[in-house]
Structure 1
Amino acid sequence: MAKVAFTVPRINAFRCPTDKRQSFMWDSTAQGLGLRATPSGKPSYVFQGVYQGKDIRITIGSAEAWRVPDAQAKARELQRLIDEGKDPRQLKRDALAAQAAKAQAEKIEAITVEEAWQAYIQERTPYWGQHHINDHARLTRSGGEKATRGTRGKGVTNAGPLYPLMHLPLRELTAPVIEAWATKEGKTRPTAARLAWRLIRAFLTWCSEHPQYSAVVPHNNPAKTRKSREALGKARVKQDALLKEQLPAWFAAVSAISNPVVSAYLQTLLLTGARPGEVIGLRWQDLDLHWRGLKIRDKVEGERMIPLTPYVHSLIEALPRRNEHVFASERKKHAAITEPNHAHDRACQAAEIPDLTLHGLRRSFKSLTEWLEVPTGVVAQIQGHKPSATAEKHYTVRPLDLLRLHHERIESWILEQGHKTPTKHRMPVN
Structure 2
Amino acid sequence: MARPKKDAPLDLSQRITLTIGAIERLACSPEKKQDFLRDTEVPGLRVRVTNAGAKSFVFEAKLNRQTIRRTIGSVKTWTIEQARAEARRLSVVLDSGQDPREVERQEQQASEQRKAIAKAQAITAREAWQEYVHERTPHWGEHHRNDHARLSKEGGQIAIRGTRGQGITTAGPLYALLNLPLRELTAPTIEAWASKEGQHRPTAARLAWRLLRAFLTWCTEHPQYSAIVSSNNPAKTRKAREALGKAGVKQDALLKEQLTVWFEAVRAIGNPVVSAYLQTVLLTGARPGEVLALQWDDLNTQWRGLTIRDKVEGERVIPLTPYVHHLLAPLPRRNRFVFASDRKADAPITEPNHAHDRACKVAGIDSLTLHGLRRSFKSLTEWLEVPTGVVAQIQGHKPSATAEKHYTVRPLDLLRLHHERIEAWILEHAKVVFTQQATHPKLHLIK
Measured in 2, the distance between the counterparts of 1:20 and 1:348 equals 103
Amino acid of the structure 2 residue aligned with 1:354: D
Task: Give the distance between the partners of 1:13 and 1:286, measured in 2 at CA.
Answer: 91
Residue 305 (structure 1) aligns with: 317
Among 411, 424, 438, which residue is 1:399 paired with?
411
The 10-residue stretch of structure 1 (309-318 or 285-294) with the greater mean CA deviation from structure 2: 285-294
Residue 28 (structure 1) aligned to one of 39, 50, 58: 39
- Alpha-carbon shift at residue 316 of structure 1 (Å): 2.2
Q: Could you report, residue by residue, the CA deviation over 1:365-398 in whole angstroms, capped at 9, with x for unpaired residues? A: 1111111111111111111111111111122122
- Residues 105-144 of structure 1: matches in 2 within 5 Å? 105-144=117-156
* Equivalent residue number for residue 359 of structure 1: 371
2:431 — aligned with what?
Answer: 419
Distance in 2 (alpha carbons) for counterparts of 1:13 and 1:313: 102
Q: Which residue among 163, 169, 184 is the counterpart of 2:181?
A: 169
- Match runs of 1:208-287 below 5 Å: 208-287=220-299
Alpha-carbon distance in structure 1 between the residues aligned to 2:92 and 2:56:
21
Shift of 1:180: 1.4
Inter-partner Cα distance in structure 2 for 1:216 and 1:108: 7
Q: Which amino acid aligns with 1:158?
A: T
Aligned 8 A contact 1:109 1:216 in 2: yes
* TM-score normalised by L of structure 1: 0.89
Cα drift, residue 359 of structure 1: 0.3
Q: CA, structure 1 residues 416+73, in 2 after alignment: closer, same or farther (shift >3 Å)?
A: same
After the TM superposition, which of the residue ranges 316-325 and 340-349 deviates more from structure 2? Answer: 316-325
User: Contact 2:45–2:57 at 8 Å: present in 1 too?
Assistant: no
* SS of corresponding position for 1:303: strand
Q: Within 1, Cα distance between the matches of 2:28 and 2:322?
A: 93
Contact persistence 2:26–2:49 (CA under 8 A): no
Q: Secondary structure at the match of 2:367?
A: coil
Q: Is the 8 A contact 1:151 1:158 kept in 2?
A: no
| Aligned with 1:180 (options 159, 175, 192) | 192
SS of match in other structure, 2:436? coil
The aligned residue for residue 91 of structure 1 is: 103
2: CA distance, partners of 1:357 / 1:179? 31
**Cα distance in 2, alignment partners of residues 412 and 20 from structure 1:** 108
Provide TM-score, normalisation by structure 2. Answer: 0.85
1:54/1:327 CA distance change after superposition, 3 Å:
farther
Please list the CA deviations of residues 173-195 of structure 1 after superposition, one character each: whole Å capped at 9, or x if unmatched: 12221121111111111111111
Q: Where has structure 1 moved over 6 Å in runs of 4 or more?
A: 12-17, 19-22, 151-154
One-letter amino acid of the structure 2 residue matched with residue 71 of structure 1: A
Unaligned stretches of 5+ in structure 1? none
Q: Which has the higher contact order (CA 8 A, sep 6+)?
A: 1
More divergent stretch after superposition (382-391 vs 59-68): 59-68
Return closer, same or farther for 1:368/1:26 CA change in 2, 3 Å cut-off.
farther
* Equivalent residue, structure 1, for 2:3: none
What are the residue-to-residue correspondences of 1:371-410 with 2, within 5 Å?
A: 371-410=383-422
Aligned-residue CA RMSD in angstroms? 3.0
Change (3 A) 1:416 1:55: farther
| Map of 2:202 onto structure 1 | 190
* Paired residue type of 1:33: R
Task: Give the drift of 1:63.
Answer: 4.3
Q: Deviations over 1:123-170 (max 9, x none)?
A: 211111111111111111121111255579971111111112121111
Partners of 2:195 and 2:88 lie apart in 1 by 63
Deviations 1:39-85 (A, max 9, x none): 6x975544455555655544434445433323333334445545554
From the superposition, tell whether residues 69 and 347 of structure 1 become closer, same or farther in structure 2 (CA, over 3 Å): same
Aligned to 1:341: 353
Q: Report the CA distance shift for 1:33/1:302 in structure 2 as closer, same or farther (over 3 A).
A: farther
| Contact 1:325-1:335 at 8 Å conserved across structures | yes
Taking the aligned partners of 1:258 and 1:293, their CA distance within structure 2 comes to 28
SS in 2 for 1:355: coil
Q: CA, structure 1 residues 119+151, in 2 after alignment: closer, same or farther (shift >3 Å)?
A: farther
Alpha-carbon offset, residue 286 of structure 1: 2.6
Distance verdict in 2 for CA 1:51–1:394, change over 3 Å = farther
Deviation at 1:313, TM superposition (A): 2.2
Distance 1:37 1:120, change over 3 A: farther
- 1:379–1:82 distance in 2 versus 1, CA, 3 Å: same
Shift of 1:345: 0.8
After TM superposition, list the pairs within 5 Å mapping 1:152-163 onto structure 2.
Answer: 155-163=167-175
Deviations 1:230-270 (A, max 9, x none): 22222111000111121121112111222222111111111
Letter in 2 for 1:107: K
**Deviation, structure 1 residue 358:** 0.5
Give the superposition deviation at 1:211: 2.1
Counting matched residue pairs gives: 426
Q: Distance in 2 between matches of 1:21 and 1:132?
A: 72
Question: In 2, are the aligned partners of 1:34 and 1:48 still within 8 Å (CA)?
Answer: no
The 1-side partners of 2:232 and 2:164 are apart by 37
Contact 2:339 2:349 (8 Å CA) reproduced: yes
Is 2:27–2:49's contact at 8 Å kept on the other side of the alignment? no
Cα deviation code 1:99-137 (max 9, x no counterpart): 111111111111111111112111211111111111111
- Separation in 2, partners of 1:323, 1:45: 78
Could you tell me how far apart the structure 1 residues matched to 2:312 and 2:23 are? 76
The percent of aligned pairs where both chains have the same amino acid is: 64
How many Å apart are 1:23 and its aligned residue? 5.2
**How much has 1:35 moved relative to structure 2?**
4.0
Local SS of the residue matching 2:314: coil
1:63/1:389 Cα in 2 relative to 1: closer, same or farther (>3 Å)? Answer: farther
User: 1:208·1:217 contact (CA, 8 Å) conserved in 2?
Assistant: yes
1-structure distance, mates of 2:27, 2:296:
79
